[in-house]
Structure 1
Amino acid sequence: MSELPPDLPRLRTLETWLQLTLDQVRQAITVAQQQAALQQRAVPPPPPDWVLQLRIDGEGQPIAVHVGGCRTAGRRARPISRDQAMRAIAEGLEPCGLCRPDTELGIL
């Protein structure tokens, strides 16, 4: 026993509905593929010019100044301006020995 209607007019109607539905699904797949391709091509934002490395203990105290993108800054870093970086180094905050923000800033 089939769950499909037995007469030709209803079968043709069902066929038309299925074809329209299939077309909609295929269009949705195309859109999803295009969006996925765009997301893969998306360029990550550039790193900030300067960052402050913060202590791990949760107090959030700055411990070093880095050039933006320096991998030794770690995850606990926040972006700062050029003036803030210069001021922090002038006030005695340690510049990173690897990326040398003091040299980049012209502070020797």
Structure 2
Amino acid sequence: MTDVPSRLELLYFARRVIVQQAQASLAQLDRWIAVEEDRETTRRRAEDRRPPPPEWLLERGIGAGSPPALVHQGGCTMAKGVRIQPISEGQARRALYEHVEACPFCNPDTALHVIPE
């Protein structure tokens, strides 16, 4: 007798190897999915805890004690940096009435129905 496996035995062996590899690959994929689900859950929780953005922003000029330069709506992408401070709707109206310029991109004067004199 020869110890050479038959083609059918080799095919069954190849099938077992593929099944084992597929199971290992599925297990790895399941681990990746679990990690991504954890990341997504953490991201959602952080997003839920984040306070809502202010409705109105005041941008000051450059330099310490500089006067207000622009009024922005809260979500304006042009309002960036350390010279920005959140303000109330009343403060935004007052600033616009006191001739602080409205941001030309987010138009807080239009949103507040303020027509400067």
TM-score by length of 2: 0.56
How many matched pairs? 75
- 1:47-88: CA deviation from partner (whole Å, max 9, x where unpaired): 100000122333343110000021111112100010100000
Question: Is 1:90 the equivalent of 2:97?
Answer: yes
1:73 aligned to which of 68, 71, 79: 79
2:51 aligned to which of 38, 42, 45: 45
Give the ranges of 4+ consecutive aligned residues of structure 1 lying more than 4 Å apart after TM superposition.
none
Q: Secondary structure at the match of 2:59?
A: strand
Q: Secondary structure at the match of 1:73?
A: coil
Q: Quote the residue 1:107 is aligned against.
A: 114
- Structure 1 gaps of 5+ residues are 1-33
Give the superposed CA RMSD. Answer: 2.0
1:37 Cα deviation from its structure 2 partner = 5.8
TM-score by length of 1: 0.60
User: Identity rate of aligned residues, in percent?
Assistant: 43
Q: Quote the residue 2:26 is aligned against.
A: none
1:39 Cα deviation from its structure 2 partner = 3.6
Q: Distance in 1 between matches of 2:73 and 2:62?
A: 19
- 1:21-53: CA deviation from partner (whole Å, max 9, x where unpaired): xxxxxxxxxxxxx6x665422213221000001
Q: How does 1:4-23 map to 2 (within 5 A)?
A: none
- Structure 2 gaps of 5+ residues are 1-37
